[in-house]
Amino acid sequence: MNAITTIIYYVSILSPLLGVWVGRNSKSILWYYMCTCFVADVINYNFKQMHISHVWISNLFIIVEFVFVTSYFKNVFFSKAHQQIFIAFLAIVAALFLYNSYTITAVDGDASKNYNYAFTAVFFIVYIMLSLAGLFKIMREAKVPRLQSSPLFLSCIAFLLYSSGALFIFLAKDEIVRIDKQAFAVIWPFFFMPLNITKNILVAFSLHNASSRNA
C-alpha cells in the first residue's frame, strides 16, 4: 500500500511537467498554470519532508489556481468591454478568500494550519459551471469536426472531472473524518491525486492541440 501511494504521489507531482513541455512554445495561461502546479507541489513536498507547516502554501495555490482558471475562461466568454468587470470580481473573491483563510479559528491558535475547504469548494463549483458553459458553447457553435481536437473541449473536461470529484471530497471531508480519521488519508492519494493527474494530462493535450493550431 505504501509503495503504491508513493508512486501515485510522485506521479501527481510530476504530471504538470507534461503540460509544461508540450506548451512551452505557446506560453498561454494554462501553460503558466501548469508551471504553478508543479512548483506548488514541489514546495509542498519539501515542506512536508522538513516537517514545516505547508497549509498556507496550499491556500495560496488555491487562490492562484482560481485566478488562472477563471482568467482562461474569461477569454472564452467575455468581450474586452466586460473583462475589466470580471477582473474586479476576481479581485474581490481573492480578497475574501485570503481574509477567510487566515481568520479561521484554529484549535491551537494557529490559523495558518487550517486548509480553507469551504472556500475551495465554492471555487470548484465555479469551475464546474464554467466548464459546463464551455461545453455548451462548443456544442452550440459546432465549429470543430472532432471534439477531441478542440483545446477548449479538453480543458472543460479536465476541469469538470477534477472539480466534480474534488468537490465531493471537500464537502464530505468533515463527515469522513468524523466517521473514520484514517479514511481521508486513503481517499486523498487514491481518489484526489488520480483526479489531479487526469486533469493535468488533459490540460497537456489541450496545450498540445492549441500549439498545433498555432504552428
Q: Give the tens place of pLDDT for each residue, 112-152.
A: 456 777 778 888 998 999 999 998 888 887 665 677 778 88
CA distance 189 to 74: 31
pTM of structure: 0.86
Cell numbers standing for residue 61: 495555490
> Which structural domain, as residue segments, surrounds residue 41?
2-214
- Say how far apart CA 63 and CA 47 lie, in whole Å: 19
Task: For residue 85, count CB atoms less than 10 angstroms from its CB and return exposed for 0-12, middle for 13-18, buried for 19 or more.
Answer: exposed
- The CATH number that applies at residue 60 is 1.20.1070
Contact partners, residue 57, CB within 8 Å, separation at least 6: 40, 43, 44, 47
Rounded Cα gap, residues 167 and 54, in angstroms? 21
The pLDDT, as a whole number, for residue 112 is 46
Q: Does residue 96 come out as left (phi exceeding 0), alpha (psi in the -120 to 50 range) or beta?
A: alpha
For the chain, what is the domain count? Answer: 1
Grid coordinates representing 195?
A: 483526479
pLDDT of 74-98, one tens digit each? Answer: 888 876 667 777 778 878 887 777 7
